[in-house]
């Protein structure tokens, strides 16, 4: 252990003498974390979607007595997708070449069917296979849902006018035909007049039955407005974003930034650190009885763990302060900092062991740093994929520390009861650290050649 | 190729300890031998850096390893030092094991640490009690200028002085030097050989690799000539002239012996 302690002191001293490297090691992963978070947030946010208007939709459409500004609707759609006006033939060609991921086709007669209020107009969505198709399909479904929601009011108003006509009576129009109806109020008046003029008990009973029907119908139709709105929108989603965190301060982004920082920093430092022992030509001198090869592997992992915990805690403090200063809500994790530190240590050790393994395989410092970067980035991206969408990738990513670190930090920072998740992920990280360290110990003789 | 013992003079009975491919075997070193290679070889894939070689290093003697670049001198020294594991064979040492100081061809030190910090680190790793005193005495011995500057900022000569100083930390009984004088000035060369002589006079042994025939003639008792990983000559220096070596011109051997004969 003395040898490990002495070499650890040496490495920390060397690192301390490289402030530029230290700053770069800290800032680079944080920058990457923010960029990746931004990309994750906005990547493909507006896929290119063709818009084929075969019905020459006018600038304004009147439906059920309400007028809609079509350009406003299109503007709303364009917050989700990049709409590109195309002819039908052009849309087919661009779909084939992948220039657009989907095309929304407005068929002829769409507006007249919409205005008829009795026939459902149809929008056609043409999509490519794979890739973003599912996402665009969901976005288009959301778009149609939003359009329908806007139209609902017009439809309900129109229907309510007919209901009102049924209740009050008067002149109406349907499919271009005008008509007069007596309405429930008029029927009630007629029945009252009949009742006064008839003495036959049998007729009086029939009049009373009709009167009861008119009363019940009137009562039912009085409720129709609320009923129509309720059946049109069984569940109303109320937007409430008061006092919540900005997305860039969310638990996921914090956990992601921490894990990404640790991953890049630890793998790079460990790989370059072990390879630099060979580049400095000191390995032969050390392993002639001064330091065992296993101790050298352990020392590098310990070094990365110390650096990882220190920089990780600094990052947690910065994020915590940012949350406090944002004033939206208090940072809930100050009391959990010791647990966070333990998590940082396990994660850094696992990443560090993996970095040492890469370093002994690469042998030279520059190669090791390059290999570390080339290997770390895809593993991070692999660990960032949604598990359900790419399950083989999820399985592979479980064999590396990134996804476990994200889960661990997310749970440690914000779960109400994180014990089970933390224990499981710590066990994973420990097992991975041991496995990678064992591999590094087996391979370290390569450095002596 | 196997070669029998190289005579490097002898002191004391020794019982073996080993490092290398057959670590732990109960083979003992011969009488007066402090360090011995037994069929040691080193291969990198299909390339043979050192063919199986058997060699004894005797107490009180100086063995020179001579040969052109890539002959296997550094590989043999590295194996004797225990810094390089042989692909086959083993190195056995006397009992108690001698303290071995190794000066590799390329300085082996941490570039971002100063000369003093390098010496302090390796002294602590060696388990030396009074580190500061030891470091101060070695800095005086090698007369190192600017001991507090990072090692990378030192001249090649000063880096080599530090390289030698680190090897001397453990007060070695066997000194293994790999082309040690390549970047030293004449004064430092003289001082190094005085130091080597001192080790030998105190009952130790010196093995050095070189391409400088003057140094071989002046300081070596026995010469082992290597070529392409094989020992092609082994014996006293004055018998080297009888041997026709294909690379003699490279080492200026032909001219040397032609001059001596004249």
A108, A74 in Cβ contact below 8 A? no
Q: Are strands B88-93 and B33-44 parallel, antiparallel or unpaired?
A: antiparallel
Task: Specify the 3-state DSSP secondary structure of B169.
Answer: coil
Give the closest-approach CA distance of A23 to chain B in angstroms.
18
Q: Cβ–Cβ of B78/A284 closer than 8 Å?
A: yes
Q: Cβ–Cβ of B83/A448 closer than 8 Å?
A: yes
Structure tokens at A282: 């000191």
* Per-residue pLDDT tens over the stretch B130-162: 999 999 999 998 888 789 999 999 988 899 999
Instruction: Please state, in angstroms and rounded to a whole number, the distance separating the CA atoms of residues A102 and A104.
Output: 7
Q: Cβ–Cβ of B85/A14 closer than 8 Å?
A: no
Query: Phi and psi dihedrals of B181, rounded to 5?
Result: -100, 5
Q: Cβ–Cβ of A14/B112 closer than 8 Å?
A: yes
B133, B52 in Cβ contact below 8 A? no
Query: In the prediction, which pLDDT does A328 show?
Result: 54
Average pLDDT over residues A355-360: 95
Of the candidates B172, B62, B49, B152, the residue with the CA atom closest to the CA atom of residue B107: B152
Q: Which residues in chain A are contacts of B120 at CB distance < 8 A?
A: none
Angle, helices A401-414 vs A391-398, to 10°: value is 80
* Minimum-distance CB partner of B108 among A13, A285, A445: A285
Give the closest-approach CA distance of A430 to chain B in angstroms.
29
Q: Which residues in chain B are contacts of A282 at CB distance < 8 A?
A: 108-110
Q: Which residues in chain A are contacts of B82 at CB distance < 8 A?
A: 287-289
- Would you place residue B90 in the very low, low, confident or very high pLDDT band (cuts 50, 70, 90)? very high
Q: Which residues in chain B are contacts of A448 at CB distance < 8 A?
A: 83-85
Task: Specify the 3-state DSSP secondary structure of A81.
Answer: coil
Task: Among B75, B99, B125, pick the best mutation site for testing chain A contact (most A Cβ within 10 A).
Answer: B125
Give the closest-approach CA distance of A16 to chain B in angstroms.
10
- Would you place residue B164 in the very low, low, confident or very high pLDDT band (cuts 50, 70, 90)? very high
Query: In the prediction, which pLDDT does B95 show?
Result: 85
Give the closest-approach CA distance of B97 to chain A in angstroms.
12
- Asked if the peptide bond before residue B188 counts as cis, ω within 30 degrees of 0, the response is no
If one counts every other C-beta atom within 10 angstroms of the C-beta of residue A101, the result is 23
As a whole number, the mean pLDDT across chain B is 82
The shares of helix, strand and coil residues in chain A, as percent rounded to the nearest 5, are 70, 10, 20
- Exposed, middle or buried, A217 (CB in 10 Å: 0-12/13-18/19+)? middle
* Minimum-distance CB partner of A10 among B84, B113, B126: B113
Give the closest-approach CA distance of A278 to chain B in angstroms.
9
Output A328-331 pairs: Cβ under 8 A, ≥24 positions apart: A328/A243, A328/A244, A328/A245, A328/A246, A328/A249, A329/A243, A329/A244, A329/A245
pTM of the model: 0.69
Q: Cβ–Cβ of A10/B82 closer than 8 Å?
A: no
Output A244-249 pairs: Cβ under 8 A, ≥24 positions apart: A244/A328, A244/A329, A245/A323, A245/A326, A245/A328, A245/A329, A246/A326, A246/A328, A247/A41, A248/A34, A248/A37, A249/A319, A249/A322, A249/A323, A249/A326, A249/A328
Query: In the prediction, which pLDDT does A439 show?
Result: 95
Task: Specify the 3-state DSSP secondary structure of A103.
Answer: strand
Average pLDDT over residues A269-278: 93
* Per-residue pLDDT tens over the stretch A361-383: 998 899 999 999 899 888 888 87
* Minimum-distance CB partner of B85 among A3, A18, A445: A445
Q: Cβ–Cβ of A14/B121 closer than 8 Å?
A: no
Average pLDDT over residues B223-244: 82
Give the closest-approach CA distance of B131 to chain A in angstroms.
13
Give the closest-approach CA distance of B177 to chain A in angstroms.
13
* Minimum-distance CB partner of A291 among B108, B110, B125: B125
Q: Which residues in chain B are contacts of A286 at CB distance < 8 A?
A: 125
Beta-carbon pairs below 8 A across chains A and B: 61
Residues in B whose CB is inside 8 Å of some CB of A read 44, 78, 81-85, 100, 102, 104, 106-113, 117, 121-122, 124-126, 150, 166
Partner residues linked to A104 by β-bridges = A51, A125
> Per-residue pLDDT for B14 more than 50?
no
* Per-residue pLDDT tens over the stretch A136-171: 677 777 777 777 777 777 777 777 888 888 888 888
A134, A386 in Cβ contact below 8 A? no
Q: Which residues in chain A are contacts of B108 at CB distance < 8 A?
A: 280-282, 284-285
* Minimum-distance CB partner of A282 among B44, B100, B109: B109
Q: Cβ–Cβ of A281/B107 closer than 8 Å?
A: yes
C-alpha pair distances (Å), A325 with each of A45, A322, A392: 29, 5, 41
Give the closest-approach CA distance of A337 to chain B in angstroms.
34
C-alpha pair distances (Å), B115 with each of A270, B109, B124, B248: 25, 8, 14, 39
A309-323, B157-171, B232-246: lowest mean pLDDT where? B232-246
């Amino acid at each position: 252990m003395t040898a490990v302690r002495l070499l650890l002191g040496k490495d920390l001293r060397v690192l301390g003498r490289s402030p530029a490297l230290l700053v770069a090691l800290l800032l680079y992963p944080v920058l990457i974390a923010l960029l990746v978070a931004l990309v994750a947030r906005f990547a493909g946010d507006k896929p290119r979607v063709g818009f084929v208007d075969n019905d020459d939709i006018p600038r304004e459409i009147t439906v059920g007595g309400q007028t809609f500004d079509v350009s406003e609707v299109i503007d709303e759609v364009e917050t989700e997708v990049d709409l590109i006006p195309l002819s039908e033939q052009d849309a087919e060609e661009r779909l084939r070449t992948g220039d657009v991921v989907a095309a929304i086709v407005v068929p002829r007669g769409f507006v007249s069917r919409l205005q008829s209020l009795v026939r459902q107009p149809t929008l056609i969505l043409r999509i490519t296979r794979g890739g973003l198709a599912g996402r665009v399909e969901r976005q288009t479904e959301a778009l149609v849902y939003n359009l329908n929601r806007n139209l609902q009011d017009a439809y309900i108003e129109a229907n309510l006018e007919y209901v009102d006509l049924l209740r009050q009576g008067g002149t109406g129009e349907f499919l271009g035909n005008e008509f007069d109806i007596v309405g429930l109020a008029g029927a009630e008046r007629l029945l009252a007049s009949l009742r006064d003029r008839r003495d036959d008990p049998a007729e009086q009973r029939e009049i009373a039955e009709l009167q009861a029907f008119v009363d019940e119908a009137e009562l039912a139709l009085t409720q129709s407005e609320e009923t129509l709105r309720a059946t049109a929108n069984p569940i109303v989603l109320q937007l409430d974003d008061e006092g919540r965190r900005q997305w860039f301060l969310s638990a996921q982004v914090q956990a992601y930034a921490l894990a990404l920082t640790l991953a890049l920093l630890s793998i790079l430092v460990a790989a370059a650190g072990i390879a630099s022992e060979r580049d400095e030509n000191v390995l032969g001198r050390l392993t002639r009885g001064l330091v065992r090869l296993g101790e050298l592997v352990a020392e590098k992992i310990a070094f990365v763990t110390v650096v990882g915990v220190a920089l990780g805690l600094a990052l947690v403090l910065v994020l915590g302060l940012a949350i406090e200063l944002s004033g939206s809500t208090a940072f809930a994790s100050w009391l959990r900092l010791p647990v966070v530190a333990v998590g940082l240590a396990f994660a850094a050790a696992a990443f560090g062991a993996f970095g040492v393994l890469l370093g002994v395989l690469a042998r030279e410092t520059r190669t090791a740093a390059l290999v570390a970067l080339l290997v770390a980035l895809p593993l991070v991206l692999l660990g960032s994929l949604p598990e359900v969408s790419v399950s083989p990738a999820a399985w592979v990513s479980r064999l590396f520390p990134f996804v476990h670190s994200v889960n661990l930090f997310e749970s440690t920072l914000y779960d109400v009861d994180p014990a089970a998740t933390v224990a499981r992920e710590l066990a994973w990280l420990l097992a991975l650290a041991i496995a990678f360290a064992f591999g590094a110990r087996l391979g370290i003789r390569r450095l002596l050649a | 190729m196997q070669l029998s013992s190289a005579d490097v003079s002898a002191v004391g009975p020794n019982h073996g300890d080993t490092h290398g491919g057959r670590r732990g075997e109960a083979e003992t070193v011969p009488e007066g031998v402090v360090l011995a290679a037994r069929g040691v070889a080193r291969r990198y894939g299909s390339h043979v850096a050192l063919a199986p070689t058997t060699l004894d290093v005797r107490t009180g003697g100086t063995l020179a390893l001579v040969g052109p670049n890539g002959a296997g001198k550094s590989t043999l020294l590295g194996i004797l030092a225990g810094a390089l594991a042989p692909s086959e064979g083993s190195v056995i040492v006397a009992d108690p094991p001698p303290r071995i100081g190794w000066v590799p061809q390329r300085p082996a030190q941490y570039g971002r640490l100063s000369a003093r910090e390098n010496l302090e680190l390796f002294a602590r790793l060696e388990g030396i009690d009074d580190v500061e005193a030891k470091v101060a005495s070695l800095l005086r011995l090698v007369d190192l200028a600017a001991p507090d500057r990072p090692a990378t900022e030192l001249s090649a000569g000063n880096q080599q002085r530090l390289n030698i100083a680190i090897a001397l930390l453990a007060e070695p009984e066997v000194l293994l030097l790999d082309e040690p004088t390549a970047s030293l000035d004449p004064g430092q060369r003289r001082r190094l050989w005085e130091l080597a002589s001192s080790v030998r006079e105190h009952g130790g042994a010196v093995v050095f690799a070189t391409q400088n025939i003057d140094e071989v003639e002046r300081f070596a008792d026995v010469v082992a000539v290597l070529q392409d990983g094989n020992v092609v000559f082994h014996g006293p220096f004055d018998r080297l002239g009888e041997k026709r070596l294909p690379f003699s011109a490279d080492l200026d051997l032909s001219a040397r012996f032609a001059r001596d004969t004249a």
